[in-house]
Amino acid sequence: MSNEPLFFKPIFKDRIWGGTQLTSFHYNIPTETTGECWAFSAHPNGQSVVKNGQYEGVTLGELWEKHRDLFGNIAGDRFPLLTKILDANQDLSVQVHPNDEYARVHENGELGKTECWYIIDCEEGAEIIYGHHAQTKEELISMIEKGEWDQLLRRVKIKPGDFFFVPSGTIHAIGAGTIILETQQNSDTTYRVFDFNRKDAEGNLRELHIEKSIEVTETPSSHTKVSPETKQIDGVEITTYIECPYFTVQKWNLSGTASLIQEKPFTLVSVIDGEGELVHQGTTYSFRKGDHFLLPNEFGEFTLKGNADLIASYL
């Protein structure tokens, strides 16, 4: 049983729409089109690795399999969450994700994908696609077949600090010039609805998944309005954005010193700005923008000091 925070080394993913903004998080990125940092991942397509303490070098998936006590011995055949930072240098494809039931049947037992986005930064005038305007499946199919994308897709202007809940079945896309932290189910299943007729490096149009997209898209589209709740504990303001069956996501705005208690089976924490220290049982751990640490089960009382913005998630 570890009673220390476990810091993780992320995995990076090259994407056609990626850029170089992840360097602002103190990362050495592998390419000029690095689109994704997988901060907490136990997915077969990329596993983050512990970089401190007694589990140094161990993947998150191995911890889940062999040291379930760190996660409060909760049930499940795979680690439930995946946390990413995305750099959308260009528009992402318009996509939709299936729910658990559909993914299990059609994607070899993969989980569905409900996710949420915290907008860390974005250019002036940036926007996302969030939902659609079709009222029936027939109308959805007709507008897709006719390529009436401007009429179909619902566009929303964004600004830093915005938060969006994106349940499975929601058509969505992140727009160019946006950096987000995404908390999602542990799934890599994406159905592309439309990709702006973009071509890959070989000059090929990227694959679309129209039939599956239509099957899983919720119609009419619902846009879940989040109602953040904020409370102050000493020198930290804690805003809870969403509590859903898959995860709870909070922002910890630290300015000074705060004493907190980790009482969940585990808590994932990503530092999106600033720096500070975590003091636990007499030991001090420094953190800064770009760090990601897991607070294990029965971590108990700890103190945060500094000036930083952190995104925390738990089941």
Q: What is the pTM of this model?
A: 0.95
φ, ψ at 69 (rounded to 5°) = -60, -25
All structural domains of the chain with their residue ranges: 6-216, 229-314
Q: Which two tokens stand for residue 77?
A: 């055949």
Average pLDDT, the chain: 96
pLDDT 10s digits, 21-47: 999 999 999 999 999 999 999 999 999
For 97-108, b/e burial (b = at least 16 CB within 10 A) is bbbbebbeeebe
Decide if pLDDT at 238 tops 90.
Answer: yes
Mean pLDDT for 126-132 is 97
**pLDDT tens-digit series, residues 42-85:** 999 999 999 999 999 999 999 999 999 999 999 999 999 999 99
> What's the average model confidence in pLDDT over 121-144?
97
- CATH number for 229-314 (one of 2.60.120.10, 3.20.20.105, 2.60.40.1220, 2.40.50.180): it is 2.60.120.10
Do the first three CATH levels of 6-216 and 229-314 match, i.e. the same topology?
yes
Q: Which CATH architecture has domain 6-216?
A: Sandwich (2.60)
Q: What confidence tier does 1 reach under pLDDT thresholds 50, 70, 90?
A: low
Is the model's pLDDT at 162 over the cut of 60?
A: yes
CA angle 265, 252, 189 (to 5 degrees): 60
Q: Which residues lie below 8 Å from residue 300, measured CB to CB, with a gap of 6+?
A: 3, 261, 262, 263
Residues with catalytic function: 192
The reported pLDDT for the residue numbered 224 is: 78
Contact yes or no for 309/274 (Cβ under 8 A):
yes
DSSP 175: P
Which amino acid is it at 103? A
